[in-house]
Amino acid sequence: MITRRGFFRFLGGSVLAAAALGSYAVGIEPMLLTRVKRYALTPPNWPDGLKLRVVALADIHACRPWMTPERIASLAEEANALEPDIIVLLGDYVAGTRMVSSWVDSHEWASALSGLKAPLGVFSILGNHDWWEDLTAQKAGQGPTIARRALEAAGIPVMENDVVRLEKEGHGFWIAGLADQLALRPGRAWGRKGFTGLHDLRGTLAKVGDEAPVLLLAHEPDIFPDVPSRVALTLSGHTHGGQVRLFGYSPVVPSRYGNRYAYGHVVEAGRNLIISGGLGFSIAPIRFGVRPEILTIDLG
């Protein structure tokens, strides 16, 4: 039978453990050195001889003290050092939380990202927060958003229902980038009852002009059930791996599919999806069990 003294020792230890765990999740893991998460795969019908390295950064969520321009610039250097053929940015550059010491303006984070370099180029898409925090774009129901203008001013193309054909050593492939699936928020001020996406999957893929493989950039992974087998690989962010992940499970995932598309490499009906755990966070400055990461994907 537990004594009164033993009970209070247990209670005190539990409180200290909870405090230590909370301190780690808030103050340490979000600031840990970024890990490089590596994938290697050959999608169905991938051309023989086409070896392609894609480096992906997602969900930067620039803000102080968590994701400063200096830290973003160092992430760009890390990405360059991975010797990518192409670098892709998967959206959500702006702060997704009010728990900040100060804001990072768009020209600051975009300037930090301008250091990204890859032989075949750097390409980007926008995320939901890049739209949600732009009240002018929300009111108008259209862009260009502040984030888009900042990226383009930094020399980084933004793809919203666009495609581009690239070539490496005589082998062609396509990058297709979707507009955001949750771009316009509901609310009386906007006259909208629900979230409105600006993505056009069918129209985007209709712009692909030959049989070369397609890499699809889609901020939210929820589009994946609609992605045809014509697409070799879909790359997404948005979920942050749930921000808290234990034993391969995330209690809260911002997806209508829950843990199905929370994190990692998903294969369904021969189609491939990779969801990044991202670099920053939204709502609360918490990460536990899902460290900030840069993706390296070797194809072929």
The pTM assigned to this predicted structure is 0.90
Residue 233 three-state SS: strand
From CA 189, how far away is CA 124, in angstroms rounded?
29
Q: How would you class 168 by CB atoms within 10 Å of its CB: exposed for 0-12, middle for 13-18, buried for 19 or more?
A: middle
Output the tens digit of pLDDT for each of the chain's 300 residues.
444 344 334 344 433 333 333 344 444 544 557 899 999 999 999 999 999 999 999 999 999 999 999 999 999 999 999 999 999 999 999 999 999 999 999 999 999 999 999 999 999 999 999 999 999 999 999 999 999 999 999 999 999 999 999 999 999 999 999 999 999 999 988 889 999 999 999 999 999 999 999 999 999 999 999 999 999 999 999 999 999 999 999 999 999 999 999 999 999 999 999 999 999 999 999 999 999 999 999 999
**Alpha helix ranges (H) inside the chain:** 4-23, 69-81, 106-113, 128-132, 135-140, 146-153, 201-205
pLDDT of residue 32: 58
Give the closest residue to 175 by CA, choosing from 148, 203, 219, 208.
208
Percentage with pLDDT > 90 across the chain:
86
pLDDT of residue 224: 98
From CA 280, how far away is CA 286, in angstroms rounded?
9
Q: Which CATH class is domain 34-299?
A: alpha beta
- Structural domain boundaries in the chain: 1-31, 34-299
From CA 90, how far away is CA 238, in angstroms rounded?
8
CB neighbour list of residue 205: distance below 8 Å, 6 or more residues apart: 163, 176, 214, 228, 230, 231
pLDDT of residue 189: 85
β 271-275/264-268 pair status: antiparallel
